[in-house]
């Protein structure tokens, strides 16, 4: 705000300047009084109109100027806020994968920051190796393969489901694996066969990451031909 006296000592110009531009340019006149108080500025040399014009002339302009100044300030504040938000968004913390100690096949855990996009997949089962069993016949483990074969089939399903949602195998952070006992192993789960298939998809040149994982042997899955069911959680 600038108060610029004019030559003669009885008039002045009141300027409100924002960002290099004048938002208010109101002429003022004043007249001195004999009182020891400070000179009272008003907008007319006619004292009889002092009360009316001191509010009607400069203060209306001042109010308009203040309004424009406030509006400009709000726009600037909004711009600063959007810039800050954009910077924060671009600098969002990354997903942290915590390696086991000593490093192993799977992770100790994963930290997912707020704001990450998550995808939770239901448990997936294997597809038959060849053509689906004829309707009305009972499917067998032989038609779906052993634990290793079924695990590969399940991971291929998961890979396709992830791609459909814009995710990759490298975005998986957690797996829960349910393994049924294999009759050929006396009812024990084929943990080694499941791990062999797992290594084809994690810790590879194509996908050097690994995941947090839980593996549980179950009494049975949805049908007797299934040996593996896997749930996957992905984040990015």
What DSSP assignment string belongs to 185-217?
GTTB--HHHHHHHHTTTSSSSS-----EEEEEE
Write down the pLDDT at residue 183: 96
Distance CA 189, CA 181 (A): 4
Write down the pLDDT at residue 49: 52
Distance CA 183, CA 186 (A): 5
Write down the pLDDT at residue 29: 52
Distance CA 43, CA 13 (A): 11
Write down the pLDDT at residue 93: 82
Write down the pLDDT at residue 130: 85
Q: Closest Cα to residue 133, out of 143, 147, 145?
A: 143
Q: Which residues of the chain have pLDDT under 50?
A: 2-3, 16, 18, 23, 30, 32-46, 50-51, 53-57, 59
Q: Whole-model pTM? A: 0.63
Write down the pLDDT at residue 39: 45
Tell me which CATH code domain 96-235 carries.
Answer: 3.30.1330.40
What DSSP assignment string belongs to the chain?
-EEEEPTTSSEEEEEEEETTEEEEEEEEEE---SSSSPPPEES-S-GGGHHHHHHHTHHHHHHHHHHHHHHHHHHHHHHHHHHHHHHHHHTPPPPEEEE-SS--SSEEEEE--TT--EEEEEEEEPPPSSSPPPTTS---HHHH--HHHHHHHHHHHHHHHHHHTT--GGGEEEEEEEEEPBGGGTTB--HHHHHHHHTTTSSSSS-----EEEEEEES--SSTT--EEEEEEEE-
Residue boundaries of the structural domains of the chain: 2-90, 96-235
Kindly report, residue by residue over 121-147, the tens digit of the pLDDT: 999 999 999 888 777 778 999 999 999
Write down the pLDDT at residue 137: 78
Write down the pLDDT at residue 57: 45
């Amino acid at each position: 705000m600038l108060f610029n006296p004019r030559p003669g000592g009885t008039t002045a110009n009141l300027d409100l300047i924002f960002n290099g531009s004048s938002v208010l340019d109101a002429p003022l006149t004043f007249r001195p009084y004999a009182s020891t108080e400070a000179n009272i500025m008003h907008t007319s040399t006619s004292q009889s109109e002092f009360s009316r014009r001191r509010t009607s002339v400069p203060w209306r302009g001042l109010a308009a100027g203040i309004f424009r100044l406030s509006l400009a300030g709000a726009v600037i504040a909004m711009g600063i806020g959007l810039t800050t938000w954009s910077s924060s968004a671009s600098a969002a913390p990354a997903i942290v994968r915590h390696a086991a100690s000593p490093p192993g096949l799977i992770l100790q855990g994963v930290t997912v920051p707020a704001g990450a996009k998550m995808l939770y997949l239901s448990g997936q089962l294997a597809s038959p190796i060849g053509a689906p069993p004829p309707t009305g016949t009972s499917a067998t483990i032989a038609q779906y393969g052993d634990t290793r074969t079924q695990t590969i089939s399940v991971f291929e399903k998961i890979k396709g489901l992830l791609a459909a949602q814009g995710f990759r195998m490298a975005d998986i952070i957690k797996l829960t694996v349910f393994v049924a006992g294999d009759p050929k192993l006396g009812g024990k789960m084929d943990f080694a066969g499941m791990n062999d298939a797992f290594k084809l998809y994690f810790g590879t040149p194509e996908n050097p990451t690994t995941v947090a994982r839980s593996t549980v042997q179950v009494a049975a899955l949805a049908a007797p031909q299934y040996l593996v069911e896997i749930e996957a959680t992905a984040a990015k």
